[in-house]
C-alpha cells in the first residue's frame, strides 16, 4: 500500500509523492511565543511529529522547518504589559516551549526559524506583490494584500467571496470591493484585504524596522511565507497546522506566496482537529485551557497526553477530560511494565507486525489502529522476549512513547547490603537471621527470590 495523506486543499486522501523524491520538505506553523501554549496547541506539534516520524519510517529524508513567531500583535502587547523588551520576553517563552516539546518526545525540527531573523525576506516578497499590483499602500503607510485581485483567494477554506463595499473604500478607489483589516486574526465572515506590512504607530513602541517599505513591522501571515520559502524553496511538499490556522493564516500564506512566485506554494496541506473541553474549543480567550504544567502538577507524565492523542485520528475532534487522560496514563504504565519484563536482550524485528503497523499508518496516519499492533506484540505467545523488545522499539520510532528510555530502576544500596548479609547468613546456615533479613528487605519494598543459580531481587 502506498502512503496516503488527507489533503485539505483537495478534501481527498491522496497518494503521497514528494516534489523531490530524495527529500520531503515540510513546514509546521510553530508557536507565538507570548505565553505557555495550551495542550490543544500541542496537538498540532504532536500530529506534525507523527507525520514526520511516519515519513522517516517509510525511508524518506525530511527537511522540517518550524517557526517561532516572535513579533506580532500579541507578543508586542504582552511584552509591553510586562515591561520587558520584545527579545527578552519572547526568549523566555521560546525556552519554555523547547522544554515542553522535549517532554512530549517531539523530534527537534531540522531548523527553528525566528520571524525577526527574516525581515529582509518578508520585505522582498512584499515588494514583489507591490510590483505585480497585488498589494497596495494605504494612507498610513501600511501595505495590504488586495484580495480582489486574486481570483483564487479562498481556495483552501472554500470561501464565497462577499462583496463588502464600504463608502470610505469606494470613495478612495471605486474599483475596490473589499475593506481592509490590520489585525492578524479575524473571522471568515469578515474577509478583507489583510496587512502585509504594518506602519509603525505609537502602540508598537520600540518594535519597528526601517526598511524600503518604511518604518514598521510585518503582519503575521507574511512571516510564514518568508520563513518557509527561504528554507524550503518556493514549492513545498507538506504544510501542517491546527485547523484553526486554516483561516485567515493559511489562506493568506497561499495568496502571498503564490502571488509572489506564480507557483503552487504547497502540495499537501494537513490540518489537525481541535481539542475540546466540555465540548467547547480549548482556547486562551475562552479561559478553558490547560498547559503541560497542569499535567505535571497532577504528577501525570506528558507522554500520557501524547499516548491519549494517538488513540484518536488526528482529523477527529477529541474532548479532553481528566479521567480519560489518567486512564491513558494507567495503560501507558502497564505497557512500560510489560516492556521492562522483557529483559535485556534485543532480538530481531517481527516483519509481519511491522508490515501491518505500516499499512495502518500509511492510511492517513491511522494511529488508533497502529496502537493495537503494540498490544498484539506484547500478547503474542509465540514470540521470544528479545524479538518482542526489538519489535516494540521499532514501532516506537513512530509512536514516540519513549520505550528506549525505560531502564530498570536500580536497587537501593541499603537493600543490596541487606541481601548480601542474608546471603552470608544462609551460607552459615543461620536461617533465623536469614528470615529476619528477608522480612526487613520486604519492608523496604523488595523481595529476594532464591533459585538454583543464585538469587534475584525484585521490586514488590
Binding positions for Zn ion, rule: CB under 5 A: 29, 224
Supply the minimum distance, in Å, between the C-beta of residue 41 and Zn ion: 13
Nearer to Zn ion, 55 or 224 (CB): 224
Nearer to Zn ion, 29 or 226 (CB): 29
CA-closest candidate to residue 17, choices 30, 5, 29? 5
Supply the minimum distance, in Å, between the C-beta of residue 74 and Zn ion: 14
Nearer to Zn ion, 65 or 224 (CB): 224
Supply the minimum distance, in Å, between the C-beta of residue 107 and Zn ion: 19
Supply the minimum distance, in Å, between the C-beta of residue 224 and Zn ion: 3
Nearer to Zn ion, 79 or 252 (CB): 252
Nearer to Zn ion, 223 or 329 (CB): 223
Supply the minimum distance, in Å, between the C-beta of residue 366 and Zn ion: 26
Nearer to Zn ion, 44 or 207 (CB): 44
Supply the minimum distance, in Å, between the C-beta of residue 270 and Zn ion: 13
Supply the minimum distance, in Å, between the C-beta of residue 296 and Zn ion: 28
Supply the minimum distance, in Å, between the C-beta of residue 231 and Zn ion: 13
Nearer to Zn ion, 104 or 224 (CB): 224
Nearer to Zn ion, 66 or 303 (CB): 66
Amino acid at each position: 500500500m502506498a502512503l496516503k495523506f488527507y489533503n485539505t486543499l483537495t478534501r481527498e486522501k491522496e497518494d503521497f509523492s514528494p516534489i523531490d523524491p530524495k527529500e520531503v520538505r515540510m513546514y509546521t506553523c510553530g508557536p507565538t511565543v507570548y505565553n505557555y501554549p495550551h495542550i490543544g496547541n500541542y496537538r498540532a506539534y504532536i500530529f506534525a511529529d507523527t507525520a514526520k516520524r511516519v515519513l522517516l519510517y517509510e525511508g524518506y529524508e525530511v527537511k522540517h522547518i518550524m517557526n517561532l513567531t516572535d513579533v506580532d500583535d500579541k507578543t508586542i502587547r504582552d511584552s509591553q504589559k510586562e515591561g520587558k523588551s520584545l527579545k527578552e520576553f519572547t526568549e523566555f517563552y521560546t525556552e519554555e516551549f523547547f522544554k515542553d516539546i522535549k517532554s512530549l518526545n517531539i523530534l527537534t525540527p531540522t531548523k527553528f526559524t525566528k520571524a525577526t531573523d527574516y525581515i529582509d525576506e518578508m520585505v522582498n516578497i512584499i515588494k514583489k506583490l507591490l510590483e505585480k499590483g497585488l498589494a497596495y499602500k494605504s494612507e498610513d503607510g501600511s501595505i495590504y494584500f488586495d484580495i480582489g485581485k486574486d481570483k483564487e483567494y479562498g481556495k483552501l477554506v472554500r470561501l464565497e467571496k462577499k462583496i463588502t463595499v464600504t463608502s470610505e473604500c469606494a470613495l478612495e478607489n471605486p474599483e475596490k470591493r473589499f475593506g481592509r483589516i490590520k489585525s492578524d486574526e479575524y473571522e471568515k465572515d469578515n474577509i478583507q484585504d489583510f496587512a502585509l506590512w504594518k506602519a509603525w504607530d505609537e502602540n508598537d513602541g520600540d518594535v519597528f524596522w526601517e526598511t524600503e517599505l518604511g518604518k514598521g513591522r510585518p503582519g503575521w501571515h507574511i512571516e510564514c511565507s518568508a520563513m518557509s520559502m527561504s528554507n524550503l524553496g518556493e514549492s513545498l511538499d507538506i504544510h501542517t497546522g491546527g485547523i484553526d490556522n486554516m483561516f485567515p493564516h493559511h489562506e493568506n500564506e497561499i495568496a502571498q506566496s503564490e502571488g509572489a512566485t506564480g507557483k503552487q506554494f504547497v502540495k499537501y496541506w494537513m490540518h489537525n482537529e481541535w481539542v475540546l473541553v466540555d465540548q467547547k474549543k480549548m482556547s486562551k480567550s475562552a479561559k478553558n485551557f490547560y498547559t503541560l504544567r497542569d499535567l505535571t502538577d497532577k504528577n501525570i507524565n506528558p507522554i500520557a497526553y501524547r499516548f491519549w492523542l494517538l488513540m484518536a485520528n488526528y482529523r477527529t475532534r477529541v474532548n479532553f477530560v481528566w479521567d480519560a487522560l489518567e486512564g491513558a496514563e494507567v495503560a501507558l504504565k502497564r505497557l512500560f511494565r510489560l516492556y521492562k519484563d522483557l529483559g535485556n536482550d534485543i532480538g530481531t524485528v517481527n516483519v509481519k507486525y511491522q508490515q501491518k503497523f505500516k499499512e495502518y499508518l500509511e492510511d492517513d496516519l491511522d494511529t488508533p489502529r497502529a496502537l493495537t499492533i503494540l498490544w498484539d506484540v506484547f500478547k503474542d505467545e509465540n514470540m521470544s522476549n528479545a524479538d518482542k523488545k526489538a519489535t516494540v522499539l521499532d514501532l516506537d520510532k513512530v509512536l514516540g512513547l519513549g520505550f528506549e528510555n525505560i531502564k530498570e530502576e536500580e536497587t537501593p544500596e541499603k537493600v543490596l547490603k541487606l541481601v548480601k548479609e542474608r546471603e552470608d547468613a544462609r551460607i552459615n546456615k543461620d536461617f533465623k537471621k536469614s528470615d529476619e533479613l528477608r522480612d526487613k528487605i520486604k519492608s523496604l519494598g523488595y523481595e529476594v527470590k532464591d533459585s538454583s543459580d543464585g538469587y534475584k531481587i525484585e521490586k514488590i
